[in-house]
Amino acid sequence: AGGGRMIDRLRKWYYNAAGFNKLGLMRDDTLHEDDDVKEALRRLPEHLYNERVFRIKRALDLSLKHQILPKDQWVKYEEDHHYLEPYLKEVIRERHEREAWNKK
């Protein structure tokens, strides 16, 4: 159990050190947009997509101004839910299934 707590502390430290949360971004907002991610984004419900676009536009604006959000507005490690992950897993599963089917 002690090792688990240490790993969790390391994850939190790395999350904060990465800095994207200080711009109001979530982890899934920072994923490289390859074909799988683009398809997962296409499948997002409209409200999740709009929230993502808002966070990214705000982060770009802050970055251009060389500013960060006030600390009380930073995305906390515990609050960062991986909203894109279920859609991305489904897209990847479908791609693997297609690839396997095409090999036959």
pLDDT (tens digit per residue) in 4-32: 889 999 999 999 999 999 999 999 999 99
pLDDT (tens digit per residue) in 72-100: 999 999 999 999 999 999 999 999 999 99
Total domain count, the chain:
1
| Complete DSSP assignment for 19-57 | -GGGGT--GGGGS---HHHHHHHHHS-HHHHHHHHHHHH
CATH number at residue 29: 1.10.1090.10
Determine the distance from the C-alpha atom of residue 1 to the mean position of all C-alpha atoms in its chain, rounded to a whole number.
28
pLDDT (tens digit per residue) in 46-72: 999 999 999 999 999 999 999 999 999
Report the chain's mean pLDDT, rounded to a whole number: 95
Which pLDDT value is given to residue 3? 74
For residue 13, what are the domain limits? 2-103
Question: Predicted confidence band at 104 (pLDDT cuts at 50, 70, 90)?
Answer: confident
